Amino acid sequence: MSAMNKKLIQNLAEALCKQFKHFNTEEAECLIRLFNDLLEEQSERRAAHGLDRVKFRNILHNTFDMTDDMMMDRVFRSFDKDNDSYVSVKEWVQGLSVLLRGTLDEKIKHCFDVYDLNGDGYISREEMFHMLKDSLIRQPTEEDPDEGVKDLVEIALKKMDYDHDGRVSYADFKKAVRDENLLLEAFGNCLPDAKTIQVFEGRVFQESNELH
C-alpha cells in the first residue's frame, strides 16, 4: 500500500469514526482495508461504484452465517442508504457499526427496516406471511399448508400490535422488543450472532494489530 493510500485511509477512518461512534480509528481503518480487498475481487467496472449485491450477499452468507435469500437481500438494502445498488465504503462502516456493535435501539431500527418490505412504515400481515412462510416445515397431509404460517402471523400480531390496527408500526415493534428482546428477529435472521461477531472482529482487527 502506498504512503498516499495509507494517509487517505487514515483520514477517511478518522472522519467515519466521528460519524459512527462504535469503532475507533484503527478499527475503522481495518474495515476500510477489508472493503478495498473485497472490491479488488470484483470486476473493475463494478468496483468503481462499491460492493455489488452478489459480493455483499456472499459476505453475509460466508462471514455472518445468513442463509435466507430474502433476508440477505433486505440487509443489502438496509446498508445501501442511497439506493444506488452498491454499498460504498461509508455505507459499509455505517452498516457494520450497527450489525456488530449497535445499541438495542439501533438494532431495532435495522430489523424493522429489513422487515418493512415495501417501506411504508408498517409490517403488514402479508409481509409477515411472506417472511415466515419458509420457516415451517409443511406436512403433506395438511389440507391448507399455509394454515400454520397464518397461525404464526396471528401470534406475532397478538404480541406486537399494541394499537390493534392489524399491522405492526415502528412504535409497536420497538415496544414489543423492549418488553421481550427475543422478538428482535421474530421474522427472520438479519443480525449476526455473538460468536460470529467475535470471530469476524478477531480476524479483521487482529490481523491489523499484527501488521503494525
Spatial distance between the Cα atoms of 52 and 40, rounded to a whole number of angstroms: 12
The answer to whether the pTM exceeds 0.75 is yes
What's residue 1's pLDDT? 44
Residue 165 pLDDT greater than 70, yes or no: yes
Residue 81 pLDDT greater than 70, yes or no: yes
Spatial distance between the Cα atoms of 147 and 89, rounded to a whole number of angstroms: 44
Geometric angle at alpha carbon 199, from 59 and 202, rounded to 5°? 110
All structural domains of the chain, each given as residue ranges with its CATH number in brackets, are 3-103+193-211 (1.10.238), 105-185 (1.10.238.10)
Are 90 and 16 within 8 A, CB to CB? yes
What's the mean pLDDT in 52-77?
94
Residue 76 pLDDT greater than 50, yes or no: yes
Residue 184, SS3 per DSSP: helix
Question: For 39, phi and psi rounded to 5 degrees?
Answer: -60, -35
Cell numbers standing for residue 46: 463494478
- For the chain, percent of residues with pLDDT exceeding 70: 88
Q: What count of other Cβ atoms lies within 10 Å of the Cβ of residue 110?
A: 20
The model's pLDDT over 99-127, given as tens digits with 9 standing for 90+, comes to: 999 999 999 999 999 999 999 999 999 99
What's residue 179's pLDDT? 96
Are 171 and 178 within 8 A, CB to CB? no
pLDDT band at 209 (very low <50, low <70, confident <90, very high): low
Are 62 and 46 within 8 A, CB to CB? no
What's residue 14's pLDDT? 93
Spatial distance between the Cα atoms of 74 and 28, rounded to a whole number of angstroms: 24
Residue 122, SS3 per DSSP: strand
Residue type, 77: R
The model's pLDDT over 30-59, given as tens digits with 9 standing for 90+, comes to: 999 999 999 888 766 665 679 999 999 999
Spatial distance between the Cα atoms of 59 and 39, rounded to a whole number of angstroms: 12
What's residue 146's pLDDT? 83
The model's pLDDT over 174-205, given as tens digits with 9 standing for 90+, comes to: 999 999 999 999 999 999 999 999 999 999 99
**Cα separations in angstroms, 62 against 5, 77, 200:** 28, 18, 11
Spatial distance between the Cα atoms of 14 and 144, rounded to a whole number of angstroms: 56
Spatial distance between the Cα atoms of 121 and 109, rounded to a whole number of angstroms: 11
Spatial distance between the Cα atoms of 74 and 71, rounded to a whole number of angstroms: 5
Average pLDDT for the chain: 89
